[in-house]
Structure 1
Amino acid sequence: MSRESNAEELMLKLRNLGLTPYEAKAYLVLLRNKVMTSTQISKEAHIPQPRVYDVLKSLEDKGLVIVSEGRPKLYRVEEPRKALKKLADRIVEKVKEDYLSLVDVLEEMYASKAEEAREEIWKLNSPSRIYDKILDVISEAQVELLISAYDHMLDKLKPRLKKLSRKGVSICLITYGYSEPQKYVDEHRVKKTIGTVIVIADRSEMVFVTDWHDPLRVKTGEKAFLEGEPVRTVYNVAEGIAQIFIRTADSKEVSVGGWQAYLEDVEAEYVEVIS
């Protein structure tokens, strides 16, 4: 990494800690030069002289800079590890205070309108938000929970499901893949194929995931365009499997499945057969 790009990254991270652009510049200049006057800092950091005093006062208030008495005043940085740790702790504490002062008021405002929006359908795009919503719906179940999910999702879901089970909530679970029996639920079925992720709590709220996997190459998520000669097909109604195997120009045999395929090499969006 070049010195210039490294300086830009340091500036960005200092901004994230609440420093203004001028404060970040002054801090880095002072850090490199150990002890400086305000005039020296102003010139080297390219900060207007009338502004530099306010900038240095703010850095002093943040605990990052110490100033000597006398004329001219001299400035130096405090030991960064300790000073930045104290600054970060103050920021976290301030965020907590703001959260505590806001949450009750905002919850009251949200609750007053929540019932009006209850029947709406909302779309979530990122996997992290989908997971969060699934976990929220699971936690809200009071009587019964119906859930279908992929086996690799169980690590995140299992703690919530076990907690529901201990509360006496009836749980029906379907997993797609090869998971072991989940004995903490009332009913568990395993489907060795693909499926749709669905979560329904008390028949009142549902999460329906339309496309969990990335197309087209199942293992890498890369898009693919394949041409080749059909070799054979596999069709199993009981397990819900439909596959076609093709031999490509380089003599490789590739398995192709349909929407949300994960057992095959490729998830197909469109298949054209030319006689």
Structure 2
Amino acid sequence: MIAKPELVNKVKNYFGLNIYETKVWLALLSKGIASAGEIADMSGVPRSRTYDVLESLEKQGFAMQKIGKPVKYFAVKPTAVIDKLKKRVLDDMNERIDTLANIKGTQEYQELELLHSSQSELIKKQDLSTTIRGRTNVNGQISDVIISTKKDLLICATTNEIKRRIKLLEPLFKQVKDSGVKINMALNGTDADIKLLSDRLGVKAKKVDVKSSFYIADKNEVLFMLNENSENQEQMAVWFSSPFFVESLTSLFDLALKNNPKK
């Protein structure tokens, strides 16, 4: 019995297998114990490829070879496969973390720093801007903007924007506040939401009519959120590093805040 395409695609994505590996594993799971020829017939995988696929599955821990003649194979049960994959991912992640933790002490890293610093002064003299796409990248840029702040951090946002990033913002706020950064926050939303978020973040927010969301660090760089109200679209933001532009934006925002009757 050949597995349904929908099941094949989902299992393939869940377990990181290719199409042939997925079909063969599903065939083994449904058959129990089978020869390479039987698996080829059940899975629809060409017989000439079945042996290579079975060997690959065996190495990855999805299948095992039964001792004896003729050679037959059986599937490793899904729960055991998941446990093995979880351990493998954790081991790989820990190894990667160790590598990254030690990289700063290498000669290669020092060369990277020299390459960057040789152009940093030139970059500082230019106005820069870029578009950031994807939730992970946007969150990363928010972190960079907040952590890079030395004196004044200004945040204007909707309460929905802050709510969905609250787990990201809480430790960042604590970190920069402990280093002496002054945080000014203005929010658009209900009084209840504004109070709740102010209490969680430890920063008293002012209420504003502005429905845009942006983060300004030291009047030097700003990160604008785009399409923030659409849950079905890819998250996007625009980052500017332009002291003149950002300082002008900050001045206009301060003026709007002073003239806003809501408190």
TM-score by length of 1: 0.63
Name 2:206's counterpart in structure 1: 189
Matched ranges for 1:25-40 at <5 A: 25-40=23-38
Work out which of the residue numbers 48, 51, 63 in structure 2 matches 1:50.
48
Q: In the superposition, relative to structure 1, how do residues 164 and 81 fare at CA in structure 2: closer, same or farther (>3 Å)?
A: same
**How far 1:32 moved relative to its partner?**
0.4
Q: In the superposition, relative to structure 1, how do residues 20 and 138 fare at CA in structure 2: closer, same or farther (>3 Å)?
A: same
Moved more, 22-31 or 116-125: 116-125
RMSD, aligned α-carbons: 3.4
- Name the CA distance, whole Å, in 2 between partners of 1:101 and 1:165: 30
- Name the CA distance, whole Å, in 1 between partners of 2:188 and 2:141: 20
2:22 paired with 1:7: no
Task: Report the structure, 1 or 2, having the larger helix content.
Answer: 2
Q: In the superposition, relative to structure 1, how do residues 164 and 67 fare at CA in structure 2: closer, same or farther (>3 Å)?
A: same
Work out which of the residue numbers 209, 215, 223 in structure 2 matches 1:207.
223
Aligned length: 213
**How far 1:137 moved relative to its partner?**
1.0
2:151 paired with 1:143: yes
**How far 1:158 moved relative to its partner?**
4.0
Secondary structure of 1:209's counterpart equals strand
**How far 1:98 moved relative to its partner?**
4.9
Secondary structure of 2:195's counterpart equals coil
Name 2:61's counterpart in structure 1: 63
- Name the CA distance, whole Å, in 1 between partners of 2:86 and 2:29: 18
Do the aligned residues in 2 keep the contact of 1:146 with 1:171 (CA within 8 Å)?
yes
Secondary structure of 1:164's counterpart equals helix
Task: Report the structure, 1 or 2, having the larger strand content.
Answer: 1
**How far 1:136 moved relative to its partner?**
2.6
- Name the CA distance, whole Å, in 2 between partners of 1:135 and 1:60: 43
Work out which of the residue numbers 153, 156, 169 in structure 1 matches 2:161.
153
Do the aligned residues in 1 keep the contact of 2:8 with 2:23 (CA within 8 Å)?
no
- Name the CA distance, whole Å, in 1 between partners of 2:113 and 2:56: 37
**How far 1:36 moved relative to its partner?**
0.5
Listed as ranges, the gaps of 5+ residues in structure 1 are: 215-237, 242-275
- Name the CA distance, whole Å, in 2 between partners of 1:18 and 1:127: 23
- Name the CA distance, whole Å, in 1 between partners of 2:129 and 2:114: 18
2:26 partner letter: L
Greater gyration radius:
1
Secondary structure of 2:128's counterpart equals coil
- Name the CA distance, whole Å, in 1 between partners of 2:170 and 2:179: 14
Cα distance per residue 1:248-268 (max 9 Å; x no partner): xxxxxxxxxxxxxxxxxxxxx
2:25 partner letter: Y
Secondary structure of 1:123's counterpart equals strand
Do the aligned residues in 1 keep the contact of 2:40 with 2:47 (CA within 8 Å)?
yes
**How far 1:109 moved relative to its partner?**
4.7
Listed as ranges, the gaps of 5+ residues in structure 2 are: 231-258
Secondary structure of 1:47's counterpart equals coil
Name 1:246's counterpart in structure 2: none
**How far 1:130 moved relative to its partner?**
3.6
